[in-house]
Structure formats: structure tokens, C-alpha cells
Structure 1
Amino acid sequence: MKEFVIEAQKIPPQQRHSHIFETFDNLEAGESIVIVNNHDPVPLLRQFEENRQEQFQPEYLEKGPEVWKLRLTKLKKEGCCGFCGG
């Protein structure tokens, strides 16, 4: 399974969340993105909980104080074979 790293602090703030959502939406089921940031990405995680409910599994890999790493794994739908990325 693939895992993509996004260094969030290197993306302009006005493009950051949309870039992360776009990358996540292009993942296949079982693939992940790891978001590396200089602060806890709680606002982003809340947006995922609101807009991608039951589509992802979050896991903190590192929790500061200088670097946070959050893995978001795309889940496959119940009964899905995984080939469509759904």
C-alpha cells in the first residue's frame, strides 16, 4: 500500500487544506497520506470528520512539540473489493 507525505507548512495557507483533500480523494482504498506540520492539525482533522465521515482512519505518528505527523488512511466501503478505490 502506498503512503504519500505532505509537508503542510510548505504549502501556501490558502491552498493547504484543499490540496490535502484533493490528494486524499485521489487515494485508493488502503492508501495513506502522512501530514507533517509544525502544529497539531486539529482543524484539518475536524474538517475530515465533517466532510469525509467514515472514509478515513486517523493515526498520530508524532505529537509535537515541534513536529506533528498525522496519517490518514482511506478506508474501503463495506463490501467493497477495493479495486475501484471506493
Structure 2
Amino acid sequence: MSPNVCAVTLDVRALPPNERPAMIHSVFRSLLPGQAIEVVCNHEDKPLRELLRSVLPGRFSWADLEQAPGRWRAAITRLASGPEGHDGAGCCGACAG
């Protein structure tokens, strides 16, 4: 796990799968740089990781915490800065930058 403490634990197992990415992205946007969310799901969420890579390039780190039957956990940390133009100055905000 990242040395950063998870600010929020988000257990999405009870949510319908199509609602999970929006919930996770919404909570991620509320984090300060260096803070992390711990996501708990019933399976590894590779599509979520790929989605975040596409909409938040360079803005997060990912650490798998647990992979057990019926329980998977990962820490997603908001990084301090991202690619050029996505440091909060002049950014449109669409990518949580």
C-alpha cells in the first residue's frame, strides 16, 4: 500500500456495477493531492483502472491491497500534479485536474 493513509473507504459491492465508476470518480475528485481512497469490490476492477488511466492520465497511483474470493481492495491516490496543463491552473476541470 502507498504510505498515504486512505481518507475514505468506499465499499461499492452493494452498488450496481454500472454506478460504481461514477461514484469512485466523484469521491476521487474530492481528494486533496496525496490523499487516497480505498475501494472495496467483489472482484478486481480492471475496467475501472483503464477508465481512470484514460480520464485521469498521470493524476493517480494505484495499489492493490487485497485479492481474495469475494473481496478485492485497492488504494487509489490522487497525485500532486499531472501532465502539462493539468495542474489546476487553466484546466477546464473535466478530468479532475
**Do these two structures clear the TM 0.5 threshold for a shared fold by scoring above it?**
yes
Aligned to 1:21: 25
Aligned to 2:7: 3
CA distance in 2, matches of 1:48, 1:60: 15
- Normalized against structure 2, the TM-score is what? 0.74
Q: Which deviates the most, 7-16 or 35-44?
A: 7-16
What is the correspondence of 1:14-53 to structure 2 with a 5 Å cutoff? 14-53=18-57
Count how many residue pairs are aligned between Structure 1 and Structure 2.
80
Q: Point out the structure with the larger helix share.
A: 1
1:73 aligns with 2:77: yes
- Normalized against structure 1, the TM-score is what? 0.82
Q: Runs of 5+ in structure 1 lacking a partner?
A: 81-85
> Contact conserved, 1:40 with 1:64, CA < 8 A, in 2?
no
CA distance in 1, matches of 2:44, 2:18: 18
Following superposition, which runs of at least 4 residues in structure 1 exceed 3 angstroms of deviation?
Answer: none
Question: What fraction of aligned residue pairs are identical, expressed as a percent?
Answer: 26
1:46-79 Cα deviation digits (max 9, x unpaired): 101111110001000101222110100000017x
> Contact conserved, 1:58 with 1:73, CA < 8 A, in 2?
yes
Please, what is the CA RMSD of the aligned residues? 1.8
